[in-house]
């Protein structure tokens, strides 16, 4: 593994115990210029993790708590009138940062969600008649609480598709929780130091281009994607009735990039089938639209992805 990546993980671990999947997901999002959706119950260090990452990189970090009364101008900014000089000025919102935590994104109505997701896609926002480019890097980590169902606005599939990965945050092990309890009670967490600057991060992003991937593995990725759309072609008739819509072309791009990033984080100069296997659930799970029958039976997208991976021959 790259020494800088190792140092970065060590610094984050000063404030975050465990949660390797979430930390690695954020690192892959940064390297690939993608956005991450995290689903997990409160108290799993989601805010702490992205805050620690911003400290270790010396990047700006802002947090938006999404609520039903939030307006698009609350996140992107607005044109403000000054009655003293009769002039308008632009007040930029919290969207103008490097790392943004969109906490409980499904609590805000559609207008606010679409304003954020448009900025994620276009990397720019328009306030009044002025267009502003967003910072680079710009990473959004959005969170969803899977428990509460009242007063929430589920993200439509087209908006979910803007997220490179969906990561399920789980509870820590007993040993990790014991360490969290002791350090939290005594306030003995260490201070995170900057170990990677913006130029070094951009260099790491460029290094991803040198990660080799065989043509056979490229075709394997396309087969995984196609199997979500036309499962019967691959002898997967039993899951065909569980899928209403397969994944979009963004999924193939993101799985390709995420697999290269995973290989890079593992210290390899080439992608192996293992790297694709590591990333396929995170990249596809929020993009498959289940049929009504599948929802009634309690079938999950993870189960469908696992069936596809187990059925398709690995190069």
**pLDDT tens per residue, range 171-201:** 878 888 888 888 888 877 788 788 888 888 8
Domain shared by 175 and 71, yes or no: yes
Reduced to 3 states (helix: H, G, I; strand: E, B; else coil), residue 85 is coil
Q: Which residues are paired to 270 by β-bridges?
A: 212
Q: What is the DSSP string of 113-169?
A: HHHHHHHHHHSEEEETTEEEEPPSS-EEEEEE-SS--TT--PPPHHHHTT-SEEEE-
The residue among 169, 199, 229 that closes a domain is 199
Q: Is residue 205 part of a domain?
A: no
- Please, which pLDDT band fits residue 252 given cuts at 50, 70 and 90? very high
Percent of the chain residues topping a pLDDT of 90: 17
Q: Which of 126-130, 165-169, 240-244, 269-273 has the lowest mean pLDDT?
A: 126-130
Domain shared by 12 and 161, yes or no: yes
Domain shared by 10 and 84, yes or no: yes
Domain shared by 68 and 185, yes or no: yes
Q: Which residues are paired to 36 by β-bridges?
A: 141, 165
pLDDT of residue 129: 77
Q: Is residue 206 part of a domain?
A: no
Q: Is residue 229 part of a domain?
A: yes
Pair 284, 245: CB distance under 8 Å: no
Query: Looking at the predicted structure, is the pLDDT value of residue 239 above 70?
Result: yes
User: How many other CB atoms are there within 10 angstroms of residue 5's CB atom?
Assistant: 18
- Please, which pLDDT band fits residue 115 given cuts at 50, 70 and 90? confident
Residue of 200, 225, 218, 208 lying closest to 280 (CA atoms): 225
User: How many other CB atoms are there within 10 angstroms of residue 130's CB atom?
Assistant: 9
**pLDDT, average across residues 132-152:** 77
CA distances from 188 to 22, 57, 163, 179 (A): 22, 22, 35, 10
pLDDT of residue 299: 87
Query: Looking at the predicted structure, is the pLDDT value of residue 59 above 60?
Result: yes
Encoding tokens for residue 45?
A: 């260090």
Pair 187, 246: CB distance under 8 Å: no
Q: Which of 108-117, 145-154, 289-298 has the highest mean pLDDT?
A: 289-298
Domain shared by 131 and 228, yes or no: no
pLDDT of residue 149: 58
**pLDDT, average across residues 96-106:** 87
Q: Is residue 204 part of a domain?
A: no
Return the CATH number at 275: 1.10.8.80
The residue among 138, 170, 199 that closes a domain is 199
Q: Is residue 135 part of a domain?
A: yes
Q: Name, in order, each residue with C-beta under 8 angstroms of 249's C-beta and a sequence gap of 6 or more.
A: none
Domain shared by 156 and 258, yes or no: no
Domain shared by 20 and 159, yes or no: yes
CB environment 235-273: b (16+ within 10 A), e (fewer): ebeebeebbeebbbebbbbbbbbbbbbbbbbeebeebbe
Query: Looking at the predicted structure, is the pLDDT value of residue 1 above 60?
Result: no
Q: Is residue 269 part of a domain?
A: yes
Domain shared by 47 and 149, yes or no: yes
Encoding tokens for residue 174?
A: 């007993």
Domain shared by 74 and 163, yes or no: yes
Return the CATH number at 42: 3.40.50.300
The residue among 171, 199, 227 that closes a domain is 199
Domains held by the chain: number = 2
- Its domain, for residue 91, covers 3-199
Rounded to whole angstroms, the Cα distance separating 178 from 195 reads 28
Query: Looking at the predicted structure, is the pLDDT value of residue 77 above 90?
Result: no
**pLDDT, average across residues 267-278:** 90
pLDDT of residue 28: 92
């Amino acid at each position: 593994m790259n020494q800088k990546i190792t140092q970065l993980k060590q610094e984050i671990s000063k404030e975050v115990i465990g949660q390797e999947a979430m930390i690695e997901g954020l690192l892959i999002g940064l390297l690939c210029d993608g956005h991450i959706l995290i689903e997990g119950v409160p108290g799993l260090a989601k805010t702490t993790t992205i805050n620690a990452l911003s400290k270790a990189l010396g990047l700006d970090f802002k947090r938006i708590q999404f609520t039903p009364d939030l307006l698009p101008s609350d996140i992107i900014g607005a044109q403000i009138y000054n009655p003293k000089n009769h002039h308008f000025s632009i007040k930029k919102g919290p969207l103008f940062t490097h790392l943004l935590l969109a906490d409980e994104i499904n609590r805000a109505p559609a207008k606010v969600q679409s304003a954020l997701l448009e900025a994620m896609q276009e990397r720019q926002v328009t306030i009044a008649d002025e267009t502003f480019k967003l910072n680079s890097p710009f990473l959004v980590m959005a969170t969803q609480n899977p428990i509460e169902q009242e007063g929430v606005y589920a993200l439509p599939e087209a908006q979910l598709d803007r997220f490179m990965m969906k990561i399920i945050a789980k509870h820590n092990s007993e040993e990790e929780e014991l360490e969290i309890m002791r350090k939290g009670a005594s306030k003995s967490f260490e201070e995170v130091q900057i170990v990677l600057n913006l130029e070094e991060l951009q260099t790491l992003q460029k290094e991803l281009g040198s990660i080799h991937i065989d043509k056979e593995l490229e075709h394997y990725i396309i087969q995984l994607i196609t199997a979500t759309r036309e499962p019967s072609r691959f002898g997967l008739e039993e899951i065909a009735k569980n899928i209403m819509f397969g994944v979009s072309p963004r999924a193939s791009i993101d799985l390709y990039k995420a697999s290269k990033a995973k290989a890079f984080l593992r210290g390899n100069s080439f992608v192996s089938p293992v790297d694709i296997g590591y990333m396929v659930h995170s990249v596809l799970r929020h993009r498959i639209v289940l049929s009504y029958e599948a929802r009634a039976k309690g079938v999950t997208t993870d189960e469908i992805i696992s069936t596809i991976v187990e059925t398709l021959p690995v190069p």
